């Protein structure tokens, strides 16, 4: 018999979304683990119990659990049941800094891959109305990985006139804001950062090697120089299972 809490029907209508039911269920079960509703070492409800609770077929539950097992969140034992696996600190290691000096620091063991480098572009979205647009921007698309596991997909727009001052090697070795801060003669007047929580779309899921609809953190950054020109616009998409954000509250 399962040692989990008494079963309660979820009350969720999984047919209302176009997303496959097993993916919706994987997100639901993943959240139960992350919130502590299903504790480390605890045996979760059986396939039959979950199917009854969620009102879906057993095969759908098994598909959802396959995703969680692939992520290392659970482990199945024949004739014993399914248990929540401990998550090591190594799995949640990428901290999104909330101060300027922290944003300039590189992460130990991170490898940056340049996916695209285009000239003469404009950012499709301006997250912070704090400066005037430059005539054109250089678009850099990069993927950050550690030990072969991608954790960040970044889209950067740098003022075309300033981008000439960025060494080629820096494109795969420096953080986004370090690229800007190290440009000779550039004086920064203002910088903003906004974070939102979302779910991975098809492209993001493929690029970061995560399930469709998995949690992600989207970080938008803007930098303005002393002349009031928007010299940098960036968007970073982080895997939700490998990132943390700490903020000091007064």
Residues 97 and 70 in one domain: no
Q: pLDDT tens digit string along 188-235?
A: 999 999 999 888 888 998 999 887 778 898 999 999 999 999 999 999
Residues 74 and 98 in one domain: no
Domain that holds residue 62: 14-87
Residues 231 and 143 in one domain: yes
Residues 95 and 83 in one domain: no
In a domain, 2, yes or no: no
Residues 24 and 148 in one domain: no
Residues 231 and 170 in one domain: yes
Banded pLDDT at 249 (limits 50, 70, 90)? low
Residues 227 and 120 in one domain: yes
Last residue of a domain, one of 54, 70, 87: 87
pLDDT of 5 above 50: no
Q: In sequence order, what are the beta bridge partners of 192?
A: 222
Q: Helix, strand, coil: what percent of the chain each, to 5?
A: 25, 35, 40
Question: Where do runs of H (alpha helix) occur along 127-172?
Answer: 160-163
In a domain, 8, yes or no: no
Q: pLDDT tens digit string along 13-70?
A: 666 655 788 888 988 898 898 778 999 999 999 999 999 999 999 999 999 999 899 8
Q: Does residue 105 sit in helix, strand or coil?
A: coil
* Torsion over CA: 167, 169, 171, 177 (sign): negative
pLDDT at 210: 84
Q: pLDDT tens digit string along 73-131?
A: 899 998 899 999 987 544 544 555 556 555 545 566 789 999 999 999 999 999 999 99
Which of 96, 72, 29, 25 has its CA nearest to residue 240? 96
Residues 81 and 124 in one domain: no
Banded pLDDT at 4 (limits 50, 70, 90)? very low
What does the alpha-carbon distance between residue 82 and residue 2 come to, in Å, rounded to a whole number?
9
Q: pLDDT tens digit string along 181-197?
A: 899 899 999 999 999 98
* Torsion over CA: 144, 149, 150, 151 (sign): negative
In a domain, 41, yes or no: yes
In a domain, 6, yes or no: no
pLDDT at 121: 97
Residues 70 and 106 in one domain: no
Question: Where do runs of H (alpha helix) occur along the chain?
Answer: 21-35, 47-54, 58-70, 100-103, 160-163, 176-181, 202-208
Residues 43 and 113 in one domain: no
pLDDT at 133: 96
In a domain, 51, yes or no: yes
pLDDT at 79: 85
What does the alpha-carbon distance between residue 66 and residue 132 come to, in Å, rounded to a whole number?
49
In a domain, 98, yes or no: yes
In a domain, 148, yes or no: yes
The string of DSSP letters for 193-224 reads: EEEEEEE--HHHHHHHT--TT-EEEEEEEEEE
Contact 154, 115 (CB under 8 A): no
Q: pLDDT tens digit string along 139-183?
A: 999 999 988 889 899 999 999 999 988 999 999 999 898 899 899
Residues 76 and 103 in one domain: no
Domain count, the chain: 2
Residues 110 and 204 in one domain: yes
Which of 225, 152, 220 has its CA nearest to residue 192? 220
Q: What is the CATH number of the domain that holds 192?
A: 3.40.1410.10
Residue with tokens 């912070």: 128
In a domain, 166, yes or no: yes
Last residue of a domain, one of 68, 87, 106: 87
Last residue of a domain, one of 56, 87, 118: 87
pLDDT at 74: 93
Q: What is the CATH number of the domain that holds 45?
A: 1.10.10.10
């Amino acid at each position: 018999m399962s040692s989990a809490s008494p079963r309660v029907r979820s009350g969720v209508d999984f047919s209302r979304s176009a997303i496959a039911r097993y993916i919706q269920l994987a997100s639901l079960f993943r959240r139960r683990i992350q919130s502590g509703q299903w504790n480390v070492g605890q045996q979760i409800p059986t396939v039959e119990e979950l199917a009854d609770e969620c009102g879906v077929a057993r095969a759908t539950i098994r598909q959802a659990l396959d995703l969680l097992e692939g992520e290392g969140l659970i482990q199945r034992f024949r004739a014993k049941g399914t248990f929540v696996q401990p998550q090591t600190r190594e799995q949640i290691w990428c901290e999104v800094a909330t101060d300027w000096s922290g944003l300039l620091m590189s992460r130990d063991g991170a490898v940056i891959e340049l996916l695209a480098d285009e000239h003469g572009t404009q950012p499709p979205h301006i997250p912070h109305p704090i400066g005037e647009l430059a005539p054109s921007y250089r678009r850099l698309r990069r993927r950050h990985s550690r030990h072969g596991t991608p954790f960040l997909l970044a889209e950067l727009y740098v003022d075309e006139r300033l981008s000439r001052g960025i060494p080629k090697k820096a494109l795969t070795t420096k953080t986004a804001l370090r690229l800007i801060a190290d440009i000779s003669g550039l004086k920064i007047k203002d910088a903003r950062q906004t974070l939102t929580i979302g779910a991975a779309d098809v492209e993001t899921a493929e690029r970061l090697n995560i399930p469709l609809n998995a949690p992600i953190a989207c970080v938008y950054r803007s930098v303005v120089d002393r002349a009031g020109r928007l010299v940098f616009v960036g968007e970073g998409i982080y895997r939700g299972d490998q990132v943390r954000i700490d903020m000091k509250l007064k």
